[in-house]
Structure formats: structure tokens, C-alpha cells
Chain A
Amino acid sequence: MIGTNNTAMRSIENKSSLTADGEKMLIAACQAGERQAWQEVVARFTRPVYATSLRILRNPAEAEESTQDTFVKVMSKIHTFRQEASLSTWIYRIAMHTALNRLEAWKRKTNRLRPEEAGAAAAEPRPLPDQIVEQGQLLALVQQTLDDLPEEQRLILILGDIEGLPYAQLAEVLEIPLGTAKSRLHRARALLRDKLRPHLTPRCGENR
């Protein structure tokens, strides 16, 4: 489940990002039933779809199922895709809803609550060690604190800061106004920062 260099992987994907014309051609080819075009869509979007699904569901097997369901939906609906949003936005939106639906269904079925819904005590930050944590431990701590955030904040941080969607795309994926997307992300960052405050080490006198 753990990889080595997330940032490097994202930069590779960014380099190969599609132009608007390229995307139109890819969609048209998929709509015409061209197998190679579909394979290109799968190659481009499997990682982000799986990563988003896993971060939402926090269970690799569930994330895999959700990824598969997402692509089957994409495949079956690509004929009706009217390109009102970009292909990436559309696929992210399907992936997010598919994963959230699975999460909801799991919660209904198991009657198990997420930690933040279990009561006020669970909403408090967990006790943390006093000593300065190493980078790996700090990342684990960030992940744990992120996982404990309320769903709305967690989701927008996953999409906005971890997956790196720009504000406009974030608003489109979540189907909320641009201003709401911005303020929601800013509040979520501030909340996470406040929870991690004792472990962040901003260097004095550094402005950039």
C-alpha cells in the first residue's frame, strides 16, 4: 500500500497531461469503441482513481472494487459524456461518488461509526508523544490526523492538497461554487494544522 515517491509520480503524470484537443480525440476514439483509446484512459487514470478511492475507503480491497466499479461506469457512460467538464474532472467525480457510496453502504451494513462520529471524546486530538518525531513518524501522524478529520474536510484535503486538483476543478468535482471550494479547503487546512501544531516546526525568520 505504501509507495516511495508520491510527488515524483504526480509530476510524471503532469508531464503527460492531455491538451484539450488531445482529450477530445481520446474521448471520440473511446466513443467509437477503439480499444487502444480505452487502454489509454485506463493507463492515465487508474492511479488517481485508485489513490482517491483508497484514501476515502482506507481499505485496499474495497478501493480496488471501487476503482473497478468506477471504470465500468466510465466505460458504460462514455457515450453520453458531453464534455461539459474535463475528462479528468468527470472521472474524479465518478470515483469520488462510487467510493463514498461504498463507504456509506459499509457504515449502514456494519453499524460502525467513523471515529469523528463516535462522540466528543473521539473528536479530540489523540495523545501524541512529546519528543520530536522523525519525518516518517511525522507523515504517519499527518495521515492519522487526516483520517480522523470530519468527512467533508478529509475529502477536500484529499482532492485539493494530496491529489493536487486546482480550485476550479475541485469545485467542479465536488459540484460546489468556486468560493465555497476555496473556503472549505482553507478551513480544512487550518483545522489539520491546528491539530498538528505541536509537531510542525516552522523556521523563524523564513519568509519564502
Chain B
Amino acid sequence: MNCRACVELIQETLGRELPEVCAHHLETCPACRFEYQSLRQLHSLLRQLPAPELAPELAARLASLSLPPRQPSRPRGAWAWSGVWAALSMPALASALLLALWWNGEKLTPPERTAPPSSVSAFATPQPGPATRSPATRKKRGEAALAHVAIRPRQPVLRVDLRSMDDRDLVEQIQRLILSSGGVPEERVPELAGPPPLQQVFVIPRQKLPSIRQDLQRLHPQPLTDEEEPLPEPEEQARIILISK
């Protein structure tokens, strides 16, 4: 056996018993012997590095997450599109138009809601994003309501301001509700360098937004206001942004 093959074998079998053929080579080759002994010691040291200690509440918190109910699989790609075109027969198109009118006129702007007129109008005639996100507007809306809803016709965003909520249990209930409804936390910049407020962003399937919105409204009885946020989201997704202290 030559040195190269022996070193390769040493690496491959590190942590296990050395093959006999390699052991014979080591008896006559000081360089390979050093290679074997130093790598074995290194491997042993790496295995002895102290294991990180888990925060006891972490596992309990993770175990308390609720699995979402199984969803029926949806057609994808070309099949999905063919389904869309098939659905766009004349009766279906008429129904869709009626539904859209009902959605715009009734469901999204229910008469009992006390949202400011500007937020209501955001559904009917979308405004450019930056104009609705100026600090002054934000402040005014922050004073007016705890929860902000920002929905675009194609890219919905639900913004929920929890900064004035002192009930930690209720905040956690809201987070659990979003998670259990299929919300996935978005990759975000850690708070190490960022000033408050903290923003927790969840991406959710778009079709679930109305039901989550209703549930949030129940947990969070203050009137919801609406605003827009231009985001390059896939059409089937929506976002929920929780703003906390």
C-alpha cells in the first residue's frame, strides 16, 4: 500500500477501526503514522466539544406548535392553467364577475367597520405604495387603530400592530393562530442591529387570508384599517406582518 492510499483510508475510516492493510503500512511509515495519530486525536477532540445546552422552554414551545390540517393537493403548472381556462366559460366568468363585485362592495368594506375612508378606498382604487407609507400617515393610523390591514388586489398584506397590547397570552395566541393556519415565518434580519419596533413577517397561502383575517378580528376587536404595500409576491401568497414592541 502506498502513502496516498493509506492516508485516504485513514480519513475514510476515522472514528472506526483502521483496516489491517493500513495498519501494516503504518508500522513502517512514520509520516503516515503521524497523519493517522494526529487526525485521530483531532477527530476525538471534535467529538468531545461540549454540547450546547438547550433552553428548557424551547422544546416545549416547539412541541406546542399545531400541525396544519392536511390540504388537498392542487394542480400545478400547465394543468393548473388549463384548469383556469376551463373554468373561464361564460357562466363561470359571469359568476366570477358577480363574486368580485360582491367582494369589493360587501365583504371587504362591511358597513359595521369604522375604518377611515382612505383605507376603505384603498380596496377600490389602489394607491401607490410609498404614498401610503409615509411616517405621518403611519403615525396617524397607529393612533387610530391597533391593527392595520394592507391588501392589494394581487398581493395582499395583513399588517397587525400589537405594540399597544399588553396581554402577552393574546399576542402568542395570535402568533399560534397564524402558524397553525399555515403561516411560515419569513427570513428576516436578526434584531441584533435593528431598532424597535420588531416586525415578524409570515407568508401565508392567499386563500387563507380572509379566514385568518376574520379570526384576527375576533381576537383583536378593534376596527381594521387597510393600506397597500407593493411586494413582488407570487400571486398565490399573502403576508401577515405582526408589529410588536
* Chain A residues proximal to chain B, CB less than 8 Å: 1-7, 9, 30-35, 38-39, 42-43, 46-47, 50-51, 54-55, 59-60, 62-65, 67-69, 71-73, 75-76, 78-79, 98, 101-102, 105-106, 108-110, 138-139, 142-143, 146, 157, 161-162, 164, 182, 185-186, 189-190, 192-193, 196-197, 200-203, 206-208
Given A62-B190, A65-B190, A71-B65, decide whether A162 and B36 contact each other with a Cβ distance below 8 A: no
In the assembled complex, which residues on chain A have CB atoms less than 8 Å from the CB atom of B58?
Answer: 46, 50, 64, 67-68
Instruction: Count B-side interface residues using an 8 Å CB cutoff.
Output: 55
CA distance A64 to B126 in the complex (A): 40
The reply to whether B49 and A189 contact each other, CB–CB distance below 8 Å, is no
In the assembled complex, which residues on chain B have CB atoms less than 8 Å from the CB atom of A4?
Answer: 50-51
In the assembled complex, which residues on chain A have CB atoms less than 8 Å from the CB atom of B26?
Answer: 207
In the assembled complex, which residues on chain B have CB atoms less than 8 Å from the CB atom of A146?
Answer: 46
Which one of A30, A47, A139, A206 lies within 8 Å of B45 (CB-CB)?
A139
Closest residue of chain A to B186 (Cβ to Cβ) is A69
| Min CB gap B188→A, angstroms | 7
The reply to whether A1 and B53 contact each other, CB–CB distance below 8 Å, is yes
The reply to whether B68 and A33 contact each other, CB–CB distance below 8 Å, is yes
CA distance A197 to B35 in the complex (A): 11
CA distance A3 to B50 in the complex (A): 5
* Chain B residues proximal to chain A, CB less than 8 Å: 8, 11-12, 14-15, 17-18, 23, 26-27, 33-34, 36-43, 45-55, 58-59, 61-63, 65-71, 179, 182-185, 187-190, 192-194
CA distance A162 to B43 in the complex (A): 8
The secondary structure that dominates the A interface is helix
The reply to whether A164 and B41 contact each other, CB–CB distance below 8 Å, is no
| Min CB gap A140→B, angstroms | 9
A-B interface pairs (CB < 8 A), number: 171
CA distance A47 to B54 in the complex (A): 7
The reply to whether B71 and A50 contact each other, CB–CB distance below 8 Å, is no
The reply to whether B41 and A202 contact each other, CB–CB distance below 8 Å, is yes
Given A31-B70, A42-B59, A78-B67, decide whether A6 and B51 contact each other with a Cβ distance below 8 A: yes
In the assembled complex, which residues on chain A have CB atoms less than 8 Å from the CB atom of B65?
Answer: 38, 42, 71-72, 75
The reply to whether A63 and B52 contact each other, CB–CB distance below 8 Å, is yes
